[in-house]
Structure formats: C-alpha cells, structure tokens
C-alpha cells in the first residue's frame, strides 16, 4: 500500500510524513517542487528509509504525476502542495495562481485518469484528499459565529482566492466525474519545522537574534490556532473515515489576537532562554504598517469532524506553544540553515519597509 503526498517537504506535509511513518509501514511517495518553503532537512531523520521515496517535481507536470501514479499505484493522493503566504501573494500573485489553481487542475486531471482505470474494488477504496485553509471563507466580525463547512466563500487575498478556486475544482471533480474527494479547511497551524516568515517562528527567531518583532497594525487580528500535529491526526482520521465529497473544518478552538500570541512567545522565551541583559523580549515588539486587505478575524467551528469522525485536538494552545518554542530552541541548526539569502532578502523587503512607515 502506498500514498502519494504532494508538498510533503513543506511545513505541514513534512510533519504529516514524519507522523505517518512513525506509526505505519505504508510507503510514502513525496512529490515536492522544493521552492523556498520546501525543506528536505525537515525529513532528514528518514534518510535511507525505504518507506520514504522523494521525487522533486511540480504538481503541474501532468506527465510526471501520471508516471508516478502508474509506477507506485497509490491507494490515495494527499495534496498539501500550495503557495501559502498571504504577504507573498500580495507581491507575486501569479505564483499562487500557477501552483494553487493550474497545478491543482493538472493534478486532478492526472488523478482522474489513473482512478478511472483502476479495478472496481480499488476504485471504490481510492481517495483524493485536498488540504485547504479557513481563509477561503473571508473575514468575520467580532461577534459573528465561527466558520462552518457551509459558510459562503469570500476570499480577500490572492492567496485565499487561489485556494478557493482549488477547492471549487476539487468539488467539481467529485460532482462531475465521481472522483472520491475529501477536503479539509484548517485554521492557522504552528509547530516544528515552520518556515520563519509566519508569525510564530518569525517572532521566536527575531527575538533570539535581538531583532524587532514586527506586529501588523494594532495586533488585534484574531486567528484560531491549531498545533500542526493535531492537524496531521485530523487528516489521518479524514483519510480513514471521511465520506467522499464531504468537507471537514479542522480547528484548535483557540481564538487569539496576534499581539497575545507574540506576548506569549516572549514570556516563554523569558522563562526558557532569558536575555543576558535581563530585559524582557517584549521590549523588542515593533508595530508596523498593516498589510493591504488584512482580514480581521478567522474562527473555525470544528464540530462536524468531532461529531462525525470523533476527532478533536489533543493540545491546548498553552501546551502546543510551549512545545513549539522548545523545539526551536533545541534545533538552532535547522533554523540557521533555513535562513538562506533569499529568506533574509524577503524579510528585509517585507518588514524593514513597513517599520520605516
């Protein structure tokens, strides 16, 4: 038995592969383009493990995907591959259209051809699991109910619009062709192996380096926070028991404003790695000009996946964020290696410009 997992050298994909192979001997074929956010060092512990087969390539390469499907005969395809950073989508939206829309379309076409030729028993058992985001639902008011699976799509950034388009394609391939698809829409993930342009790892890395901790606007943008390993367990459960054609929202039941997240990280670093001069890391917080179209609040109602599949997160935010900070403190080499010249150039372009505003 084999799984084909796209984007499995990225943050969530790598965590999923590590967790999967820690509890299963089922082979994983890892297809990843290795853009700036794809990091094989996150999977270094699998080097030499015959259960992990890495192939560098693009989900938009239909011929490559078709060859991998024919060669490895997977029982399921899990699509983690995506451009995912809102700030980058504002500056370079075409990359997001190519990967998230065109790439998903070409992946679906290759999978549809493969699935259509399977023997009936294998065809019935096959699944295509598409990993998406709560950002497709748009922004909530302070007192609005949380997003459910039937909430209207109202994407507000090039990133979320491209993911919304991919979700619609996946849905259409089920209703038009019968492809047995599953879609998960998750809230903000955090945890080990997170590329340090996202809020939590950026705060940890900058704090330890004595740099400013840039917070957009007033810092009161609210997000639901989901520990990445909880997200991985939810995906495993959806793959195991989810109903084809269904959507499952995956959240951590942890709505918090960004500034609270930053202050929590600072307090943990004060405890675990205090500054030599005795001052608090929160002194490094710097409010910067808000990004264009910044959604004010996201919130996930994860009742459906708990009710129908019996899944709920194992970590509280307090336990998950402590594990995350401890992981970054224990893995300075990973952090140092991921901070390539391209990464530093991006942070310089994105945040130093704003700090001067």
Is 159 among the catalytic positions? yes
Q: Residue 312 falls within a domain, yes or no?
A: yes
User: In terms of residue numbers, what domain contains 130?
Assistant: 2-193+228-253+297-316
What would the mean pLDDT of 321-331 be, rounded to a whole number? 98
Q: Residue 55 falls within a domain, yes or no?
A: yes
Lowest mean pLDDT among 9-13, 41-45, 344-348: 344-348
Band of residue 87 on the pLDDT scale cut at 50, 70, 90: confident
Rounded to an integer, what distance in angstroms lies between the CA atom of residue 186 and that of residue 337?
A: 28
Q: Which residue has the higher pLDDT, 357 or 315?
A: 315
Dihedral of alpha carbons 244, 249, 252, 253, sign: negative
Rounded to an integer, what distance in angstroms lies between the CA atom of residue 261 and that of residue 187?
A: 15
Q: Residue 311 falls within a domain, yes or no?
A: yes
Q: Please give the order of strands across the beta sheet that includes 188-190.
A: 188-190, 222-227, 255-257
Q: Residue 280 falls within a domain, yes or no?
A: no
Q: Residue 154 falls within a domain, yes or no?
A: yes
Say how many domains are in the chain: 1
pTM to 2 decimal places? 0.93
Q: Residue 123 falls within a domain, yes or no?
A: yes
At CB < 8 A and 24+ separation, what contacts does 22-27 make? 25/51, 26/1, 26/2, 26/51, 27/1, 27/2, 27/3, 27/51, 27/52, 27/53, 27/72
Is 134 among the catalytic positions? yes
| Residue tagged active-site, from 58, 83, 135, 224 | 135
Q: Residue 306 falls within a domain, yes or no?
A: yes
What would the mean pLDDT of 242-249 be, rounded to a whole number? 98
The CATH number of residue 69's host domain is: 3.40.50.720
Rounded to an integer, what distance in angstroms lies between the CA atom of residue 122 and that of residue 126?
A: 6
User: Measured at the alpha carbon of residue 202, what is the angle toward residues 55 and 141, in degrees to the nearest 5?
Assistant: 100
Q: Which helix (H) or strand (E) holds 18?
A: helix 11-23
- Select from 168, 160, 157 the least CA-distant residue to 136: 160
| Residue tagged active-site, from 58, 87, 137, 159 | 159
Q: Residue 187 falls within a domain, yes or no?
A: yes
* Bridge pairing between strands 222-227 and 255-257: antiparallel
pLDDT at position 350 over 60? no
Band of residue 340 on the pLDDT scale cut at 50, 70, 90: low
Is 32 among the catalytic positions? no
Q: How far is CA 321 from CA 17, 28, 131, 279, 338, in A?
A: 21, 29, 23, 22, 21
| Residue tagged active-site, from 32, 58, 83, 134 | 134
């Amino acid at each position: 038995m084999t799984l084909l997992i796209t984007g499995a050298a990225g943050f969530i994909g790598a965590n999923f592969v590590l967790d999967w192979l820690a509890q299963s001997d089922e082979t994983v074929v890892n297809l990843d383009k290795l853009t700036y956010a794809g990091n094989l060092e996150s999977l270094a512990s699998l080097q030499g493990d015959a259960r992990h087969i890495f192939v560098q390539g693009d989900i938009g390469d239909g011929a490559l995907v078709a060859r991998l499907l024919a060669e490895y005969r997977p029982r399921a395809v899990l699509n983690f591959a995506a451009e995912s950073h809102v700030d980058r989508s504002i500056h370079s939206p075409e990359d997001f259209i190519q990967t998230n829309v065109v790439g998903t379309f070409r992946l679906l076409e290759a999978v549809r051809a493969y699935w259509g030729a399977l023997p009936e028993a294998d065809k019935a058992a096959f699944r295509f699991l598409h990993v998406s985001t709560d950002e497709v639902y748009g922004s909530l008011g302070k007192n609005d109910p949380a997003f459910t699976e039937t909430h209207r799509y109202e994407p507000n950034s090039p990133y979320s619009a491209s993911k919304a388009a991919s979700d619609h394609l996946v849905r259409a391939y089920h209703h038009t062709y019968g492809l047995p698809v599953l879609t998960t829409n998750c809230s903000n993930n955090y945890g080990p192996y997170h590329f340090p342009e996202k809020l939590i790892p950026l705060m940890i890395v900058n704090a330890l380096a004595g740099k400013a901790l840039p917070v957009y606007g007033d810092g009161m943008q609210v997000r639901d926070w989901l520990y990445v390993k909880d997200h991985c367990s939810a995906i495993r459960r959806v793959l195991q028991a989810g109903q084809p054609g269904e959507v499952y929202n995956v959240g951590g039941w942890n709505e918090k404003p960004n500034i609270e997240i930053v202050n929590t990280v600072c307090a943990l670093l004060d405890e675990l790695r205090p500054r030599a001069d005795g001052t608090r890391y929160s002194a490094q917080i710097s409010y910067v000009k808000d990004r264009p179209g910044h959604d004010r609040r996201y919130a996930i109602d994860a009742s459906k996946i708990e009710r129908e599949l019996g899944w709920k997160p194992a970590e509280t935010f307090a336990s998950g964020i402590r594990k995350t900070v401890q992981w970054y403190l224990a893995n300075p080499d990973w952090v140092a290696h991921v901070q390539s010249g391209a990464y530093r150039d991006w942070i310089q372009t994105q945040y130093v410009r704003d700090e001067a505003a």
